[in-house]
Structure 1
Amino acid sequence: MMGDGGKWVCGLERATHHKNCVIYSVGVERQSSFEQEVLRQGKNCQVYGFDFSVTQWGPELRADTEVNPRAHFFPYKIGAVDNHDVKPKQYSLQGIMTELGHEFISEFGALKAVIESFKGKPLPFRQMQIEIHLNLAPDFIKTIGQFDKWWTLLGDARPRPFWTELNLLDVNVIRRGPFVGEWSFINIRGRHALLNDSLPDYP
């Protein structure tokens, strides 16, 4: 969406041209043009979306019958532990990956519970793209100091930012902020092809 911040991805073609390309999208809301474009670029890609606040993908992806059979939506809440007795069902990242039979994922949006659930172990992705809202932060962030603790937690897990872009729609149309920004991170921990060209694209 113009002005709503794009997604800057490093080495996207290395993932989208692989026969086992898997993309996780956490927090779908109502706009799915990024996922649509990934599926158009990667004929073998499968995108898995997770969001308990909506019931389906955004209209762009739903209308694109060429690629939407490879888009899979789940009304799940992402948390630190698995709890299927609550509504909406809560899944840890490991629980989702186990259910879907995935060992390593290419991209997803993640927050505190996902990072903490790995308890210091390497996170299972090469990079992530995330939209950060300072005015709509999660409940555990009430002050700049708390946000700094979350940012430090993210840094300790070893994703490193390589791009950021302010959300101009938030500034120019809604007339507030800037409170919203797009961020792109490379995971510098572990062994994968974005860090070492001698390695295969997938472990």
Structure 2
Amino acid sequence: MTLRSYIGRMALAGVVAFICIITFFQDGDSSLVSSLPSIPRPNPSPSAPRKFASLRDRIQLSELSWKRTVSQRHQMISAMPNAVVKPWPKDWTEEPGNLVMWDYFPAAWSCPHDVQRVGRLGDGGKWVCGMSVYESLPAPASWTGSAGVPSGGQEGLVVYSFGINGDSSFEAELLERVPSARIWGFDFSVNGWGPQITSAVSQRTFFKKAGIGAKDEPHLTTNGPLYTLQSLMASNNHTYIDVLKIDVEGNEFKSLEAFMDHVRREWKHGGDGVLPIGQVMIEIHANEKYISFPNFRRWWERLEGMGMRATWIELNLLRVTLFQDPKPDCTEYVWVNAKDQQNKLWYE
């Protein structure tokens, strides 16, 4: 075989392969491209199924899904004998029993964006709704130059993190991927950030050796000092938090209750009654020594009334596997604020 004939055959094979590829991708019924998600196109006729394309449509659809689960929750609880729920049943019963705590509070509100894990696998990392949206936010120009990063104000993505405990993988990755992010961290049990925070991003972090509580207790030496969320925000010149990460071993109930009381007081003086928080990553410790089911339900539904929607859930099974606790009463939730007009996730 001559070199010329070999080149000719290779060229012919290339042409044939190219035609096959074009034919494959133009096949509207069986091609790979047609099976991938795409932006819905306008309906060809009024009788065609509706296409939920816009961000507003997706949010409205999630609200409908959430309302259905709330209705189911109320129905299931009402059907229980004397409306008494056993959050961790040990014996099989007739319906409507055989639900555990978390079954009553599903993550039924779908994040209308991507959901990505940030930080290490397992305990310490967090799921984030709309991570790509946060990544697209530019860093404010005022941060550049020798002046450094200002200590307060609403510039960029404002992040609060309660509960460090030596692991800052979530904060480190968030700072690396989101140039507009600044993080205020709080933990009375450690003296600073975990080793994951490097010098390259440390100038966008601020740490205070303190915890979150139901009231200000600056002189508390055992499990303290403690401050309310509203006091910490005021001290940092913040009126809004874009992302709140909270893991405070059961103290989440009283501390968020106090913040809801604060927001309600503001509402009576002209506020909108919506929590000034865009997204929350929270580890909930529903141990019965911290909170009963009726109080948990009241606390949860009060948060829902102020805009919060559960969009992701991840059980923390270390309570069962490592500590041999028979009740999986510790879990991670992601909430987004569906009523919030300041939420950067809802910008189009």
TM superposition score category, shorter chain reference: 0.7 to 0.9
Question: Against the structure 1 CA distance between its residues 24 and 137, is the aligned structure 2 distance closer, same or farther, given a 3 Å change threshold?
Answer: farther
Query: Which residue in 2 is equivalent to 1:55?
Result: 191
State the one-letter code of the partner of 2:274.
P
How far did residue 185 of structure 1 move? 0.5
Q: For 2:303 and 2:157, how far apart are their aligned partners in 1?
A: 25
Q: What 5-or-longer segments of structure 2 have no aligned partner?
A: 1-119, 140-155, 247-251, 268-272
- How far does the alpha carbon of each residue in 1:162-191 deviate from its partner, in whole angstroms, 9 at most, with x for none? 110111333333343322211001111231
Q: How does 1:92-131 map to 2 (within 5 A)?
A: 92-108=228-244, 109=246, 111-119=256-264, 121-131=273-283
| Matching of residue 69 in structure 1 with residue 225 in structure 2 | no
Give a deviation string over 1:16-71, Cα, whole Å, max 9, x none.
4342122111222332211111111122321101122322222333xx23223322
Residue 34 (str. 1) matches residue 183 (str. 2):
no
Q: Which has the higher contact order (CA 8 A, sep 6+)?
A: 1
**For the structure 1 residues 69 and 170, does the alpha-carbon distance in structure 2 shift closer, same or farther, using more than 3 Å as the test?**
farther
Aligned counterpart, 1:78:
212
> In 2 relative to 1, CA 189–36 (structure 1 residues): closer, same or farther, beyond 3 Å?
same
Number of equivalences = 193
Partner of 2:293: 144
Task: Say if 1:6 and 1:182, in contact at 8 Å, map to a contact too.
Answer: no
* Aligned counterpart, 1:201: none
Percent identity at matched positions?
A: 35
> Contact between 2:124 and 2:169, CA under 8 Å: does it hold in 1?
no
TM normalised by structure 2 equals 0.49
Aligned-partner Cα distance in 1 for 2:345–2:158: 19
User: Relative to total residues, which structure has the larger helix share, 1 or 2?
Assistant: 2
Larger gyration radius, structure 1 or structure 2: 2
Question: Which stretches of structure 1, 4 residues or more, deviate above 6 A after TM superposition?
Answer: none
Q: Which consecutive residues of structure 1, in runs of 5 or more, have no partner in the other structure? A: 199-203
Secondary structure (helix, strand or coil) at the match of 1:53 reads coil
Cα contact 1:80–1:117 (8 A) shared by 2: no
Q: Please identify, of 180-189 and 90-99, the stretch whose mean Cα deviation from structure 2 is larger.
A: 90-99
One-letter amino acid matched to 1:7: K
User: What is the aligned-residue RMSD (CA, Å)?
Assistant: 2.5
Residue aligned with 1:9, SS = strand
Q: Deviations over 1:97-156 (max 9, x none)?
A: 221122321111363222222225221111111011223864xx2x22222222222222
**Aligned residues of 1:5 and 1:167 also touching (Cα < 8 A):** no
Partner residue in 1 for 2:46: none
